[in-house]
Amino acid sequence: MGRYSIGFIAQRLGIFLLTIWIAASVIWLIPRLAPGDPISAMIMRMSSSGGRVENADKIIAGWKERFGLNDPLPVQYVRYMGNLLRFDFGYSLAHFPTPVADIIGLALPWTLGLLLVAVTLAFFIGNFLGAIMVWGKTPGLIRAVIPMFMIFTSIPSILAAIFLIYVFAFLLEWFPLAGSYPLGMKVELSWRFISAVIWHATLPALSVVLVNFGYWTLGMRGMMITVEGEDYIQLARAKGLKPFYVLYRYLVRNAILPQITAFAITLGSLVSGQVLVEYIFGYQGMGNIIFAAITSQDFPVIQGASFMLIVITALAVLIMDLTYPLIDPRISYERN
Amino acid sequence: MSHSTSMTEANAPVLRVRDLRVYYETPKGDVLAVDGVDLDLFEGEALGLVGESGCGKSTAAMGILQLVNPPGRIVGGSVELGGRDLLKLSEEEVRQIRWTRLALIPQGAMNSLNPTMRVASQIEDVIVAHEGAQRKEALRLRILELLRRVGLPERVYDLYPHELSGGMKQRVCIAMAIALNPRVIIADESTSALDVVVQRVVAQTIQRVRHDLGMAMIMIGHDMGLMAQMVDRIAVMYAGKVVEVAPVRALFATPRHPYAQLLIDSVPTLRERKPLRSSEGITHDPRNPPPGCIFQLRCPHVMDVCRSAAPQLKRVGPGQWAACHLYAEPAEEGGRHE
């Protein structure tokens, strides 16, 4: 089925690139609207903490020249955009001279790996519970018990994280207290390493799942009730179809559509990580990096991380846009 | 329009409804939506079920299909289909009877098909659910034949419901209803949501299919003109009860129950505009009907007995039955009581 036309794909891609361009421009513009400049501010910090800085003016002028801050703004802008295209975000101030791209490159896979799994699990568990909460064939006991799990939704993820660490890592010692993998272990594609990674990721993932699945349950429950009232459900029952078939092919298939849209938006926010969860578990992901960059005023890292956040959010929305016609036949990118 | 089947009361009915009660639960007590309905549907006949909005005709249909949704519930009665009381069967037994013996052409043409499934899959799933898996090609030919029978082009097979017009969707529903050749079809206001031209085409499709396959049908609606053309007998409902059942000609010529008289008097003709004589709607609280006859508050012929005793359906003419105290003794041919 030709559900797509070149024109619509081009349009979606255009919106994707436009979003990134506007966002990148805003990230570039905002610091330049602020009074002062980062190099004077850095020298001032250095002099206030470490005493007098010799020849401060000369150093400032030298660095300004080095970073190209004396060039006219349009020239700076073009250079900045050129660098972004190569994912060159400059150097970290806190870990000079490590490139920002290296820092992000090391952290991003960990966060994506952990959160992609955790958020996907939360999505499936949440929607499953929401669906069976409404389904008429679910035993009453199960339907009565599910709302009790909702209590996790009202607990902040940091509290859940601390609780999990206390019980499962500290008291029971089933899981490690912190880290992404055992210190000193070689990073390789071996079963030993992968199982260690999973073992370390269990508690952080669990804290994310516990806190998040309730939102999906409630959303799914609402959608299920709406779809339950539709005429085609009545007809499906009248047709004498098997109850389980009606559940997944008629009820869930239609109720889940808006949930999938919401999921795409959630995926976008993954890059920023669950800052506090990663911090508490000492997980070396984006959340930890952003947290450290904010406390040390490491501007290039914040800028680079923000840019990656925008790119991945826009990418998730793009993928959503392009796959949605496959999920909902009423949406079509064919030109009529 | 010809009435294809002659109706004889000697035959055993295919569908026999006795004292069906469906109540809706509300905080202030149960609404007696269907309160003791008796209906007989004979082999091959079309029975019209008419009455104003809220009289319980659709609820009665859902009661027959065992598809009453909460807060509604079936309180009592019996629905015998081929000698078996549906109310006494297990859920699985009812599931197996649905569509194989008792199918539905639904009310809302616009929203009765699953938007995320192709037309063919929605016809296919009901065949597979009741007959088990079978060869793809055989299924395809069978579905194409069903589509052809209701006058739909082959391309509809691969389309999604949103790609069809209202009339086409309704015809898909008809094709679906006849897929397993049931003995009884309930058409619940199947033409109400369509414009008059499409309505006529769909009504003709239903007539043709019924004529070809010889199934019995209950047609629910409030379009008296359409009913007159399509059904053999009409049952008139008021406030959850059947107040009159009669062959269609008898009902139009000599309605006996005062409510049926008001209803027939309000049907306009091409030459004459008629004022709506029954304008008040159901006047009593459906949670707490008055003792005696349910129509007493609006009846022009109300008598003392109507306020204490509920009238039963009595034979008032050949094949004509009315629930009214005006007819204490079985009446033979006679004029209108005005």
- Which DSSP string do the residues of A237-267 spell out, in sequence order? HHTT--HHHIIIIIIIHHHTHHHHHHHHHHH
User: How far is residue A334's CA from residue A3's CA, in Å, rounded to a whole number?
Assistant: 5
Q: What is the pLDDT of residue B131?
A: 93
- The pair phi, psi for residue B50, each rounded to 5°, is -120, 165
For tokens 């990073």, what's the residue?
A187
Q: Identify which of A231, A239, A330 has the shortest CB distance to residue B98.
A: A239
Q: What is the pLDDT of residue B15?
A: 93
The CB density around residue B304, as the number of other CB atoms within 10 Å, is 9
Q: What is the pLDDT of residue B25?
A: 92
* Interval A284-312 mean pLDDT: 85
Cβ neighbours of B184 in A, within 8 Å: none
C-alpha distance from residue B118 to each of A142, B48, B146, B155, B172 (Å): 34, 32, 15, 11, 11
* Interval B144-154 mean pLDDT: 92
User: How large is the ipTM?
Assistant: 0.85
Distance from the Cα of B156 to chain A's closest Cα (Å) equals 15
Instruction: Specify the range with the lowest mean pLDDT, choosing from A6-20, A60-74, B227-241, B314-328.
Output: A60-74
Give the tokens for residue A206: 């669990």
Asked if the model's pLDDT at residue B55 lies above 90, the reply is no
Asked if the model's pLDDT at residue B337 lies above 50, the reply is no
Q: Do B116 and A253 touch (CB under 8 A)?
A: yes
Asked if the model's pLDDT at residue B332 lies above 80, the reply is no
Asked if B49 and B219 count as a contact pair (C-beta separation under 8 A), the reply is: yes
Beta bridge partners of B23: B73
**Whole-angstrom Cα Rg for chain B:** 21
Percent of chain A whose pLDDT exceeds 90 = 19
C-alpha distance from residue B100 to each of A195, A224, B175, B220 (Å): 54, 28, 14, 21
State chain A's mean pLDDT as an integer.
84
Asked if B239 and B280 count as a contact pair (C-beta separation under 8 A), the reply is: no
Stated length of chain B:
338
Determine if residue B234 is left, alpha or beta; phi over 0 gives left, psi from -120 to 50 gives alpha, anything else beta: beta
Taken in order of first residue, the domains within chain A and their CATH numbers are: 100-298 (1.10.3720.10)
B238-251 confidence digits (pLDDT tens): 989 999 999 999 99
CA contacts within 13 A on the Cβ side of A204: 34
Distance from the Cα of A233 to chain B's closest Cα (Å) equals 8
Tell me the pLDDT band of B329, cut-offs 50, 70 and 90. Answer: low
Contact B103/A at CB under 8 A: yes
User: How far is residue A266's CA from residue A279's CA, in Å, rounded to a whole number?
Assistant: 20
Tell me the pLDDT band of B114, cut-offs 50, 70 and 90. Answer: very high
Contact B98/A at CB under 8 A: yes
User: How far is residue B124's CA from residue B120's CA, in Å, rounded to a whole number?
Assistant: 6
C-alpha distance from residue B58 to each of B52, B62, B188, B283 (Å): 11, 6, 7, 19
Q: Do B129 and A240 touch (CB under 8 A)?
A: yes
Give the tokens for residue B79: 């629905």
Percent of chain B whose pLDDT exceeds 70 = 90
Q: Identify which of A239, A250, A328 has the shortest CB distance to residue B129.
A: A239
Asked if the model's pLDDT at residue B294 lies above 70, the reply is yes
Residues of B220-257 as b/e, b for ≥16 C-beta within 10 angstroms?
Answer: bbbbbebbbebbbbbbbbbbbbbbbbbbbebbbebbbb
3-state helix, strand, coil in chain B (%, to 5): 30, 25, 45
Q: What is the pLDDT of residue B108?
A: 63
Q: Do A236 and B98 touch (CB under 8 A)?
A: no
Q: What is the pLDDT of residue B98?
A: 93
Asked if A107 and A288 count as a contact pair (C-beta separation under 8 A), the reply is: yes
Asked if the model's pLDDT at residue A100 lies above 50, the reply is yes
User: How far is residue A8's CA from residue A15's CA, in Å, rounded to a whole number?
Assistant: 11
Asked if B81 and B97 count as a contact pair (C-beta separation under 8 A), the reply is: yes
Cβ-Cβ contacts under 8 Å between A and B: the total is 76
Tell me the pLDDT band of A130, cut-offs 50, 70 and 90. Answer: very high
Three-state DSSP at B81 gives strand
3-state helix, strand, coil in chain A (%, to 5): 75, 0, 25
Instruction: Specify the range with the lowest mean pLDDT, choosing from A310-324, B73-87, B253-267, B320-334.
Output: B320-334
Give the tokens for residue A271: 């890059």
Tell me the pLDDT band of B281, cut-offs 50, 70 and 90. Answer: low
Q: What is the pLDDT of residue B126?
A: 94
Q: What is the pLDDT of residue B79?
A: 93
* Interval B280-288 mean pLDDT: 74
Cβ neighbours of B100 in A, within 8 Å: 240
Q: Do B176 and A239 touch (CB under 8 A)?
A: yes
Asked if the model's pLDDT at residue A250 lies above 90, the reply is yes
Tell me the pLDDT band of B6, cut-offs 50, 70 and 90. Answer: very low
Q: Do B126 and A240 touch (CB under 8 A)?
A: yes
Q: What is the pLDDT of residue A245?
A: 94
Tell me the pLDDT band of B277, cut-offs 50, 70 and 90. Answer: low
H or E segment to which residue B206 belongs: helix B196-213
Q: What is the pLDDT of residue B2?
A: 36
User: How far is residue A285's CA from residue A114's CA, in Å, rounded to a whole number?
Assistant: 9
Q: What is the pLDDT of residue B231?
A: 92
User: How far is residue B337's CA from residue B331's CA, in Å, rounded to a whole number?
Assistant: 12
Q: Who wins on pLDDT, A38 or A118? A: A118
Helix orientation angle between A299-327 and A257-268, rounded to the nearest 10 degrees = 160
Distance from the Cα of A256 to chain B's closest Cα (Å) equals 11
User: How far is residue A117's CA from residue B8's CA, in Å, rounded to a whole number?
Assistant: 69
State chain B's mean pLDDT as an integer.
86
User: How far is residue B260's CA from residue B268's CA, in Å, rounded to a whole number?
Assistant: 15
A232, A223, A229: which is closest to A250 by C-alpha?
A: A232
Percent of chain B whose pLDDT exceeds 90 = 46
Cβ neighbours of A328 in B, within 8 Å: 115-116
B68-102 confidence digits (pLDDT tens): 988 899 998 999 998 889 999 999 999 999 999 99
Asked if B184 and B80 count as a contact pair (C-beta separation under 8 A), the reply is: no
Q: What is the pLDDT of residue B280?
A: 61
Asked if the model's pLDDT at residue B7 lies above 50, the reply is no
* Interval A193-204 mean pLDDT: 85
Q: Identify which of A232, A242, A329 has the shortest CB distance to residue B111.
A: A232
Give the tokens for residue B112: 């009765």
Tell me the pLDDT band of A269, cut-offs 50, 70 and 90. Answer: low
Residues of A56-84 as b/e, b for ≥16 C-beta within 10 angstroms?
Answer: eeebbeebbeeeeeeeeeeebbeebeeeb
Q: Identify which of A231, A236, A330 has the shortest CB distance to residue B162.
A: A330
* AA identity, residue B184: V
A271, A263, A269: which is closest to A327 by C-alpha?
A: A263
* Interval A302-320 mean pLDDT: 85
Instruction: Specify the range with the lowest mean pLDDT, choosing from A22-36, A99-113, A125-139, A221-235.
Output: A22-36
**Whole-angstrom Cα Rg for chain A:** 25
Q: What is the DSSP letter of B102?
A: E
Tell me the pLDDT band of A222, cut-offs 50, 70 and 90. Answer: very high
Q: Chain A residues within 8 A (CB-CB) of chain B? A: 230-232, 234-243, 245, 249-250, 253-254, 257, 328-330
Distance from the Cα of B116 to chain A's closest Cα (Å) equals 6
Give the tokens for residue A30: 């905002």
Burial of A193 (0-12, 13-18, 19+ CB in 10 A): middle
B19, B266, B111, B218: which is closest to A226 by C-alpha?
A: B111
A163-181 confidence digits (pLDDT tens): 888 998 888 888 888 777 7
Asked if the model's pLDDT at residue A276 lies above 50, the reply is yes
Q: What DSSP string runs through B257-276?
A: SHHHHHHHHT---SS-----
- The pair phi, psi for residue B19, each rounded to 5°, is 50, 40
* Interval B158-183 mean pLDDT: 91
Tell me the pLDDT band of A38, cut-offs 50, 70 and 90. Answer: low
Asked if the model's pLDDT at residue A291 lies above 90, the reply is no
Q: Identify which of B67, B94, B116 has the shortest CB distance to residue A328.
A: B116
B120-146 confidence digits (pLDDT tens): 999 999 999 999 888 999 999 999 999
A49-98 confidence digits (pLDDT tens): 766 667 777 877 887 777 777 788 888 889 888 888 888 888 887 777 88
Biggest distance spanned by C-alpha atoms of chain B: 68
C-alpha distance from residue A98 to each of A94, A285, A286, B131 (Å): 9, 17, 16, 69
Q: Do A249 and B117 touch (CB under 8 A)?
A: yes
